[in-house]
Amino acid sequence: MNRKLYLSAIVCLTLAACASAAIKSQPWTDSASATGWTAQSASTRAVGLGLGGWSLADGVTFAGGVQLLTPTASPLRSLSDLKLTDNQGFVTVSDAGDLVLGRLKLGGDGRLVGMGHLRSRRLTLRDGTPITEKVDGDAEGLALLPDGQLLVSFEREHRIWNYGPLDALQYPASLPRPVWPFNENGGMEAIAASSNDHWRVAGEDGGIWDCTRITCSLVQIPPDEPLKDSDYRITGMDRDPDGSGYWVVQRAFTPPIDARARVRPMAEDGTLGPVMIELKLPGTTDNFEGIAATKRGGKTRLYILSDDNENPLQRTLMLAFDVETTPAR
């Protein structure tokens, strides 16, 4: 989503944890470049949780973090969601209409230490032409079905499109979306698949729906009054790798600089569980909009990703956490 007025990073840049020297991720040659992917160069540097302000529930440990450093006009900006393609591969989408693939770099102890093999391509319209207008390309959520098909949710022109297999993208096909009068900039912010024929959608202003290839059914009705920026709102969601429920990231912002994030489990009925991760000033925080979950070493590994809104005062951060056991929802 477009949050140009976020000023939290002014403080984040000065109070975040000590960062290492940038590690250059060199350009590389993509053997599949003829399919429309373009290799991208970026650098990363390590970040920690900062000087306080953060809270981790019992059984949760920080497993590393990085900031992605890119040129001003890079398609690796404004990243709005995150899903894993395997244990270390990831896909993300931007609210400018770019699709991005990459690889996580893990240290010998399994901690997140970088990103590499970054490549991008433009999402397309129904006729296969690349998206060029913001109103068409405001992608906010993505889901990977178990069979590899890629779903993308958009706001402004509210819709869910199926782009086919991630390794052989096709012209997008429309899928049912929740029948709800979403605000222009407050639509389907989060989407996560539980099977090839079932995915869950969360609205930024509230509301949860379960969708199939035929229809969407209401799980939780949005509040009478849309949630405010200062309320914790769901901005990303992924299926719990244990096979029951979901993980969500929520964001809240109170001007001028109070940006906060929370990570919580969600039950099948939409009920939110306890706060497992909380980030706020003076520690590391930003505009977190993406979350991905997987199993690693018998624990649940969570990655969260922030959207810098192409704002020089904000950052693209990826943080990793390990959860010993999923709490009761």
pLDDT confidence band for 31 (50 / 70 / 90): very low
In the predicted model, is pLDDT for residue 279 greater than 70? yes
pLDDT confidence band for 20 (50 / 70 / 90): very low
Angle at 114 between CA 110 and CA 115, to 5 degrees: 115
Q: Are 245 and 329 in contact (CB under 8 A)?
A: yes
Q: What is the dihedral of CA 192, 193, 198, 204, to 10 degrees?
A: 0
Query: Which pLDDT tens digit goes with each residue over 32-79?
Result: 454 689 999 999 999 999 999 999 999 999 999 999 999 988 999 999
Q: Is 10 helix (H, G, I), strand (E, B) or coil?
A: helix
Distance of CA 4 to the CA centre of its chain: 18
Alpha-carbon separation of residue 188 from 199, 222, 237, 289 (angstroms): 12, 12, 11, 12
Give CA–CA dist 246/224, Å, rounded: 25
Other CB atoms within 10 Å distance of the CB of residue 136: 17
DSSP, res 327: P
Residue with tokens 């709800």: 180
pLDDT confidence band for 18 (50 / 70 / 90): very low
Give CA–CA dist 226/165, Å, rounded: 35
Angle at 284 between CA 279 and CA 288, to 5 degrees: 60
Query: Which pLDDT tens digit goes with each residue over 231-274?
Result: 999 999 999 999 999 999 999 999 988 999 999 999 999 999 99
In the predicted model, is pLDDT for residue 26 greater than 60? no
Report which of 219, 185, 214, 184 is spatially closest to residue 202, judged by C-alpha positions. 219
Query: Which pLDDT tens digit goes with each residue over 115-158?
Result: 999 999 999 999 999 999 999 999 999 999 999 999 999 999 99
Kindly report the length of the chain. 329
